[in-house]
Amino acid sequence: SPVVQITSLEFYTESTQSVNYEVWTREGSFKDFKGSYEGWTLIAEGSVEGRGLGRYTQIPDDTFTPVSIRGGGGEDGTRAFYITLDSKELIYKLGNGPDSDVDVHASSAELEVYEGEGVLTYPFPAVAEISYYRYPRQYLGTIHYDRLPCKPYSVFGHVMDLPCPDMPTSSPTPPQPTRNPVTPPPSTSPVTEPPMTPAPIIAGVTLSPIPPTMVPTLTPTISSVPSASPTTQSPTSSPIVPMRAYIVSIFRNAPERDMTSREIEKFLEITTEFLRRHTQSSMVIEGVEIWHQKLTLADAKEGSVTWEEEEEEEEEEDGEAEQEDLNVFPDDEGEQTTDMSMSPSIRRRLNDKKNFSKGQLKHEQKVEVPKVTAVEITLIIKISVSTLPENLLGNMAAVAMNENQVELLSLLNEQAAFYTYFKHMDGIQSNSVEFVTKAPTLSPTTYQFFLSNQVI
């Protein structure tokens, strides 16, 4: 392949704060050049605000010095990059190979990206401290490059290295004509035999016409009648197998029934346009389907519990009515006696003491927040193109619905005049799931059939 020019990089971090970055590079592999900046060149340095979960963070173009990778592959066509943050915010993936710089984990028509190593400290630990190097690891990000850095010269053939070759001049480069002829003048009579072949046809000169013959010299052929439609099949377009992401969303304050077919159609129309608008920088959504819907319960308001004070009610025991005015207390001999003539104030104090001993006190009690009906909807999102790994697509869609739920609810509530199902919806909670399973069959099936048809 020809030379390419790396123009920028994107990396993955879940931080939404400002992070400090550095990008170093060298020609060839990094394997024998770890633990030191010797032989490395700093091509990018600065600070950038992280874009957070589900989004790549791009290094600004004005801080990145473009570098080239020679064409042809091999050691000469290899370039190593070291991207680092001064905080533990950089995220990468576990690799699959036996060692770093062995397996290719991403490629295009011009580039192959090999698995590398993770470095656990900033900037470079000593190479002897092997516990700070983890391998193999895979880069999570985007590489921006120009595959024709020598335009328009590249159209004449592959350019294998930079700088670009000199462009051809726009005016003729032969020498100017001489003032006097350099050939002898023509002779007055022919010096060669007349040619036996007819003179060549010269452009711009009309030949004398050939007289027509009385009859055709060739028998005309009969052409077939053209068909009304093409006789060959039209070419088919390449099949596109979309990626899929799955999310489960709970819509609070829904009616106690499932959506009708018309309500489903309107819901998918609104949700599809909403997700396309909020994810268009990272993915191209072909469509959205409802896989399953079911009724559930959700909190009617924010928070889960409140607290209030109330008195505990004690059941009356048998005979308590008779003891309300009958006071019993021990005498000097330890026997219980009854005083019917005790004053009302003394009896009240004794009764209060008895009630205190039975635990008739005020205390705090939990009160649950009331529940409302909600609908749980499982969505399948079909994606044709994405700059993110497939396992992060569902997270990005769920984050878009949660962070912009006021906008989505407003779009649904606007349809209340024609679709009453969405009239009172007032909350959304979305989460991504790795896969969805098929619905159960009406009759028993074999265990092997069950296993082979689970993952969608």
pLDDT single digits (tens) 65-80? 999 888 877 888 899 9
What's the half-sphere exposure (Cβ side, CA atoms, 13 Å) at 220? 5
Alpha-carbon distance 70 to 6, whole Å? 11
Q: Are 394 and 433 in contact (CB under 8 A)?
A: yes
Q: Summarize pLDDT for 364-418 with one digit per residue, the tens.
A: 455 677 889 999 999 999 998 888 888 889 999 999 999 999 999 999 999 888 8
Cα 387 to chain centroid distance, Å, stands at: 6
CA separation, residue 79 to residues 5, 105, 455 (Å): 11, 16, 40
Name the band, by pLDDT with cuts 50, 70 and 90, for residue 335.
Answer: very low
**Per-residue confidence (pLDDT) for residue 21, from 0 to 100:** 96
Alpha-carbon distance 95 to 138, whole Å? 5
Name the band, by pLDDT with cuts 50, 70 and 90, for residue 318.
Answer: very low
pLDDT at residue 422 above 50? yes
Q: Say which residue the tokens 């600070």 belong to.
A: 47
| Out of 1-5, 52-56, 429-433, least confident range | 1-5
Alpha-carbon distance 77 to 160, whole Å? 9
Cα 128 to chain centroid distance, Å, stands at: 38
Q: What average pLDDT does range 76-87 have in this prediction?
A: 92
152 prior amide bond cis, ω within 30? yes
Tell me what percent of the residues of the chain surpass a pLDDT of 90. 37
Residues 296, 299, 301, CA angle at the centre, nearest 5°?
145
190 prior amide bond cis, ω within 30? no
CA-wise closest residue to 86 among 142, 162, 21, 28: 21
- For 357, list phi and psi in degrees, rounded to 5: -70, -25
pTM: predicted TM-score of the whole model, two decimal places: 0.40
Helix (H) or strand (E) holding 220: none
Environment class of 94 (CB within 10 Å of its CB; exposed 0-12, middle 13-18, buried 19+):
exposed
Query: Other CB atoms closer than 10 Å to residue 57's CB: what's the count?
Result: 22
CA-wise closest residue to 3 among 81, 79, 72: 72
pLDDT at residue 171 above 90? no
Alpha-carbon distance 75 to 318, whole Å? 98
Most confident of 150-154, 184-188, 287-291: 287-291
Q: Which residue has the higher pLDDT, 193 or 394?
A: 394
| Out of 50-59, 158-167, 260-269, 348-357, least confident range | 348-357
Q: What average pLDDT does range 175-197 have in this prediction?
A: 71
Amino acid at 300: A
Name the band, by pLDDT with cuts 50, 70 and 90, for residue 157.
Answer: low
Alpha-carbon distance 22 to 124, whole Å? 12
**Per-residue confidence (pLDDT) for residue 333, from 0 to 100:** 46
**Per-residue confidence (pLDDT) for residue 19, from 0 to 100:** 95
Alpha-carbon distance 427 to 406, whole Å? 8
**Per-residue confidence (pLDDT) for residue 222, from 0 to 100:** 77
Burial 127-159 (b: 16+ CB within 10 A, else e): eeeeebbebbbbbbbbbebeebbbeeeeeeeeb
172 prior amide bond cis, ω within 30? no
Q: Which residue has the higher pLDDT, 204 or 153?
A: 204
pLDDT at residue 201 above 80? no
